[in-house]
Structure 1
């Protein structure tokens, strides 16, 4: 059944974001602690947005096949946008009210802000392939300017923003620019010092949030109408004339029809249990995908039977480069490593020597010898040790558990075993000055079984989560049809 609406005025864009014409009398100082007060909403919204992502993928497939956005999924995702808008209006998206946002996907008629999206009867199969990433790119750049912000702890080098240092030596910087948060801060300061919220600033913040949420709905596949590059400020929306149009209407229990407002409210009803089920299912889907990706990565990490580190370049003016003592104890660090391989290649002309020795034997050999010690496992940080030339060329020393020398790439392979070990790289003739490429590898025999376990767990979670999402959406769809 449909209800025919007469020609009149309706919002020009299918995403309708409205707010009270004026701020809802926010207090002078409550905004200073709202970041604490909205933590529960932040946690819930993080879960809801995970479900939003999963359901949007389902909607993507449905649109490709049927040209329709499943109504139950549409209502859920609109509810997530609506919830996000209420929290933003209460907190640092506008600071427009001190009334705490309700925990619901539904519209709350007496709350000062509202959001709704016109349900599209048909959506383009072609646009759904490109609008969320290619066509929306210009808007993404603008949204990044409006929303990307943060007060962050930084290192000595500050890439952007204003930075200052606290008394304890920690540097902080406002990075990214985020216009909405910055303007909300200005509004908060105005409230703090004057007790008044500048009306022009309020209208601007509403307009900026409207822009962001229009883009969110477009990227969420809810409409094919491209978001306008227009800043519609204030709580209302610009209106335009429209011809007659038809809106689905649900039958009332007594056999009559509901008016449009009641029909919309009835259509958009998700139960608490349904919301919890779809959120749990979506988290299971995302976790399952993560485990499947991790399992596949583990199973594919070995190349020619080895898991190899990135190649690092070591350089010294001394006579050798040695690692710090590496202690292998317990199953994880000896049996778990399997075979260990160390490879080294002289960057300049000349032969190269690479050897592995117990830490005590290597220390005796390098005692009094000028050399460098590798101190960082991820980055090659070298600590120079002063001394003289080595008295014995490395090939003639009897301290090595295994060693290799000669031109080109040299490789040493041993079975991991308990103890404290040192790798030494130097010129074969024991001369000073060395620049070499080095990498380390291990067989990690447990890697493939562990990857298989993760992959299996991921499949189970993915299927279970998908089933939970399907059941929740089916239940919501059944409610819509009743």
Structure 2
């Protein structure tokens, strides 16, 4: 079965015969080298698509070198998908190249557009393509994405669903694999339907990745082959024919590696800059007049006689005064309906005091979520916590209680109890720190982000200016 309608995207595939009955069971392992490479290629695809977004917005043109690279990534992904669980249509191992391989059983071409709409680039990858995304959710499944997020400048990118085979596509491929295993034959009807779905996915991928202004049709053009003609509107009066790229340098392995490394640096630099901004906000806006960076209080409701945290150990080559000056002071607060005790002491002494006491170990304590507690059996403590003499710092009384501790070497533990040792313990816990080192953290992160962004931009620019057709 062949499609007879020309368009900017051509997807073709040839069902190989005979196919191995069992090889498809291990293709997930065989394809791992491709998966590793594709992670880097899709990172570069995302970066170049964002650059192309702005190029189209201001000039109406998709830079040719970037276009050829991104088409090569789609082409590579389609070959891997066809070999693996996106189709299982061949046992021929996919080549490691962005270039077209006409004799490979799966091929993909996208006609280069001479001009693209500046207005459409703002809406086609999210608003106009939304109906297609709903359809493709059934094809590729909820856990995978092709480049159907296109040039999503919000950063929502992911590996191609073509290579993972989720949803109906994955189900059809599984049916074909089971048929191969027991009969040695690939059901032709399954193949035709599967190729129609993959062709739909790839057309939407090219549209949402800004490669064409031609809206993808809502239809299944089933079967492995399409007409050989590619067309780009406006259609000239002359008979349509294949669109040939202008001569130019090729995307060699070195240039591909350069743009991938540069893209990874750009993404890493951008992420580091966002993280640095968060640290800066904590160091400035999050710091109170008393110099403490405060974590919001969280209610923890235990059932035992104590709330305990896992011991922590501090080691340093610095002396005690220097360690305290570098790390700063820590403030631990607790507020309860009755008199509350909060203490910090040597872990060994704390553990000895609480041996045989029914208590709740705080496993996780995250803002906005209920604390996860591990309830340990036992009875009541023999004496009230304030009667112990081993505490390095402690506070007890009604209402809000806070202890301030200058960080020191050793193995330490924190305990919150009712002042009389009764149960249950229900308290609002808070944590603060002077953290004088935060300033150096965000400064270092901004420097690293700047180096990553500048270095990545230089590498991508060098690769794109020297790169060309694939």
TM, length-normalised to structure 1: 0.79
- Tell whether the 8 Å contact from 1:83 to 1:104 is kept in structure 2 after alignment: yes
Alignment partner of 1:339 out of 308, 329, 337: 329
1:15 aligns with 2:9: yes
Map residues 125-164 of structure 1 onto 2, 5 A cutoff: 125-148=118-141
Which stretch of the first structure deviates more once superposed, 422-431 or 60-69? 422-431
Q: What is the distance in 2 between the residues matched to 1:244 and 1:449?
A: 57
Identify if the C-alpha distance between structure 1 residues 40 and 357 changes in structure 2 by more than 3 Å, giving closer, same or farther: closer
- Tell whether the 8 Å contact from 1:24 to 1:98 is kept in structure 2 after alignment: no
Question: Which residue number in structure 2 is paired with residue 439 of structure 1?
Answer: 430
Q: What is the distance in 2 between the residues matched to 1:204 and 1:19?
A: 12
Deviation string, structure 1 residues 136-184 (Cα, Å, up to 9, x no partner): 2332233333223789xxxxxxxxxxxxxxxxxxxxxxx9962212211
1:232 aligns with 2:218: no
Instruction: Return the offset for 1:398.
Output: 4.2
Q: CA RMSD in A?
A: 3.5
- Tell whether the 8 Å contact from 1:282 to 1:465 is kept in structure 2 after alignment: yes
Question: Which protein is bigger by CA-based radius of gyration?
Answer: 1
Map residues 23-38 of structure 1 onto 2, 5 A cutoff: 23-38=16-31
Identify if the C-alpha distance between structure 1 residues 364 and 204 changes in structure 2 by more than 3 Å, giving closer, same or farther: closer
Identify if the C-alpha distance between structure 1 residues 388 and 281 changes in structure 2 by more than 3 Å, giving closer, same or farther: closer
Deviation string, structure 1 residues 84-117 (Cα, Å, up to 9, x no partner): 1111112221111222222222222222222111
- Tell whether the 8 Å contact from 1:322 to 1:371 is kept in structure 2 after alignment: no
- Tell whether the 8 Å contact from 1:132 to 1:218 is kept in structure 2 after alignment: yes
Unaligned runs of 5+ in 2: 145-163, 366-370
1:454 aligns with 2:442: no
Question: Which residue number in structure 2 is paired with residue 251 of structure 1?
Answer: none
Q: What is the distance in 1 between the residues matched to 2:137 and 2:272?
A: 30
Question: Which residue number in structure 1 is paired with residue 309 of structure 2?
Answer: 323
1:383 aligns with 2:387: no
Map residues 411-426 of structure 1 onto 2, 5 A cutoff: 411-426=402-417
Question: Which residue number in structure 1 is paired with residue 342 of structure 2?
Answer: 354
Map residues 65-104 of structure 1 onto 2, 5 A cutoff: 65-104=58-97
Q: What is the distance in 2 between the residues matched to 1:380 and 1:420?
A: 23
Q: What is the distance in 2 between the residues matched to 1:112 and 1:88?
A: 12
> Paired residues, what number?
433
Secondary structure of the 2:93 match is coil
Question: Which residue number in structure 1 is paired with residue 359 of structure 2?
Answer: 372
Unaligned runs of 5+ in 1: 1-8, 152-174, 249-258
- Tell whether the 8 Å contact from 2:60 to 2:116 is kept in structure 1 after alignment: yes
TM, length-normalised to structure 2: 0.81
- Tell whether the 8 Å contact from 1:319 to 1:390 is kept in structure 2 after alignment: no
Deviation string, structure 1 residues 267-317 (Cα, Å, up to 9, x no partner): 694333322221221122122222223333333334215455564433344
Q: What is the distance in 2 between the residues matched to 1:14 and 1:64?
A: 20
Q: What is the distance in 2 between the residues matched to 1:194 and 1:80?
A: 34
Identify if the C-alpha distance between structure 1 residues 263 and 132 changes in structure 2 by more than 3 Å, giving closer, same or farther: closer
Alignment partner of 1:473 out of 446, 449, 464: 464
Identify if the C-alpha distance between structure 1 residues 318 and 405 changes in structure 2 by more than 3 Å, giving closer, same or farther: same
Q: What is the distance in 2 between the residues matched to 1:200 and 1:223?
A: 30
Question: Which residue number in structure 2 is paired with residue 63 of structure 1?
Answer: 56
Deviation string, structure 1 residues 13-34 (Cα, Å, up to 9, x no partner): 32111123x4453232322232
Identify if the C-alpha distance between structure 1 residues 97 and 399 changes in structure 2 by more than 3 Å, giving closer, same or farther: closer
